[in-house]
Amino acid sequence: MTEAPKLPDTASDPVDWARHYWEQQGLDGDEQRFLALTSLLRYQRIVTDAVDAELRTHGLNMTDYLLLMTLQLSETGTRLISSLARNLLVHATTATLATDRLEQRGMLQRSPHPTDRRATCVTISDLGRKTADKATRGLTGIDFGMQGSSDANINRLRNLLTTMRHSLGDA
């Protein structure tokens, strides 16, 4: 006895569901790019949800963690708030609010820029480094939200996304 084909509304993959109805309705536009966008956004949401859950166990959110890691990865552990915002692709207000939260918890310190009185420098503290290290170990334990993906696929994904980012001028 053969299994009946799945009806589109019972398709388990939402991207396949979208493809079916796109084709059935003969929609104009670039179907492949729409499906790639849909798949990318779904994957991003899945990864982000897993990462957010792990970061919460360390008292951090994604912006806090990425801010701490940007400082930790920098040569001196110090960056301008404005450059942190640009690097993290967030508004300066968001970077400032994250800085406020982390400063209140002793994970970083602010200081005036030595030559530009309008600029503020942010430096990661020892506690900030320890917190970032602990969170990174936790994220490593969940494969940074990409469980089940092979190293080869992760490298391919990173290389493809790097090429695509660079084609849009993000270098």
Sorted by where each starts, the structural domains of the chain and their CATH numbers stand as: 33-141 (1.10.10.10)
The interaxial angle of helices 62-73 and 81-88, nearest 10 deg, is 120
pLDDT at 171: 80
Q: What is the dihedral of CA 127, 93, 158, 54, to 10 degrees?
A: 50
The model's pTM: 0.85
Task: Give average pLDDT by consecutive 10-residue segment, the chain, 171 residues.
Answer: 60 84 90 93 96 98 96 95 92 94 97 88 97 98 96 96 94 80
Burial of 117-144, coded b for 16+ CB within 10 Å and e otherwise, reads: eeeebbebbeebbebbeebbebbeeeeb
